[in-house]
């Protein structure tokens, strides 16, 4: 993984081809790097997919091996999607010299939705358009048998033209696991985990729609309605506390209230949710109120 430039500084190479340049970020499933593909002379994003719980990996090597297999299977499924709102996977590095697989992906240069929200809430039509893009990505993934399980502002990247790109499908590889690992580590972000997943019910694509709805609520309201001082308190609030009605969401309000129902059976399906988002994107704001 390492090499030397003749007469130059030490560099880090993956698969003898991808030069790691600088760290872009990381989460429960590993680190993401900006890298240079030396064969094609272009920049890419590189992610080493590691288990979210190192202790679990050591205690359960068979489970870790299964996770690796799922990572590769689902990465291949995503690579076949060719959807404009799903991050493009160029290549998979899986060789004996690497403990975990590396995913070679497109480098999205526009920053994340989380970065954008640090500057303030989104206007309702813009939030609805972002929501439709992410929903399109989720629908394509669900049709391919892949659930995301960690939809949140940090996992939505924005291309320079504003197109949202859903990334970090790594947690999706932990199919059949609960939201908590054997050692109590969370799989997913507490404030964006759907109530049924906290209760241990997995496999419902509607859980991703709930997470998208909460992301859009935060995007237009500028605050998370159920975030509390600790992860456990946040999980308890998501499970048991009523959702405060949005006050800035305007035409998006009914869609958010519907998709954020605690009972998955009460939520609109993806097609109905998309129609609601489309209507909100086109809505004309009433005087003195957001669209």
Q: Which residues in 270-279 are b (16+ Cβ under 10 Å) and which e?
A: beebbebbee
The Cα 11–Cα 13 span in angstroms is 6
Give catalytic residue positions.
150
Contact 19, 35 (CB under 8 A): yes
| Nearest one of 28, 12, 36 to 90, comparing CA atoms | 36
Q: Specify the DSSP class assigned to residue 84.
A: T
Residue reference for tokens 């893009």: 133
The Cα 59–Cα 182 span in angstroms is 10
The Cα 127–Cα 115 span in angstroms is 14
Which residues is 246 bridged to in the sheet?
none
Would the CA dihedral through 71, 77, 78, 79 be positive or negative?
Answer: positive
The Cα 22–Cα 11 span in angstroms is 11
222: left (phi over 0), alpha (psi -120 to 50) or beta: left
Q: Is 17 exposed, middle or buried (0-12, 13-18, 19+ CB in 10 A)?
A: middle
Q: What are phi and psi of 92, to 5 degrees?
A: -125, 130
What residues contact 52, with CB distance under 8 A and at least 6 apart? 28, 29, 171, 174, 181, 185, 187
């Amino acid at each position: 993984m390492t090499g030397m430039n003749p007469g130059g500084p030490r560099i880090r190479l993956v698969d003898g081809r991808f030069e790691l340049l600088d760290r872009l970020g990381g989460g429960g499933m590993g680190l993401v790097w900006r890298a240079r593909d030396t064969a094609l002379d272009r920049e890419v994003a590189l992610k080493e997919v590691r288990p979210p719980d190192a202790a679990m990996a050591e205690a359960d090597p068979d489970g870790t091996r299964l996770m690796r297999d799922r990572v590769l299977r689902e990465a291949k499924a995503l690579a076949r999607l060719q959807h404009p709102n799903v991050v493009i996977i160029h290549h998979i590095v899986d060789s004996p010299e690497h403990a975990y697989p590396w995913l070679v992906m497109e480098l999205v240069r526009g920053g994340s939705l989380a970065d954008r929200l640090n500057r303030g809430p989104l206007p309702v039509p813009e939030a609805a358009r972002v929501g439709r893009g992410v929903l399109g990505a989720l629908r394509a993934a669900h049709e391919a048998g892949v659930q995301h399980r960690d939809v949140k502002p940090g996992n939505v990247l924005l291309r320079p033209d504003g197109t949202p790109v859903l990334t970090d499908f790594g947690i999706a590889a932990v199919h059949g696991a609960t939201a908590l690992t054997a050692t109590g580590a969370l799989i997913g972000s507490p404030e964006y985990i759907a109530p049924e997943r906290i209760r241990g019910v997995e496999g419902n694509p509607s859980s991703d729609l709930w997470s998208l709805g909460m992301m859009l609520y935060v995007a237009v309201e500028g605050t998370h309605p159920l975030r509390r001082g600790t992860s456990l308190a946040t999980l308890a609030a998501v499970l048991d506390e009523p959702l405060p009605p949005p006050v800035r969401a305007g035409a998006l309000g009914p869609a958010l209230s519907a998709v954020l129902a605690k009972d998955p059976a009460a939520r609109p399906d993806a097609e109905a949710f998309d129609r609601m988002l489309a209507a909100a994107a086109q809505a004309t704001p009433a005087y003195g109120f957001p669209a």
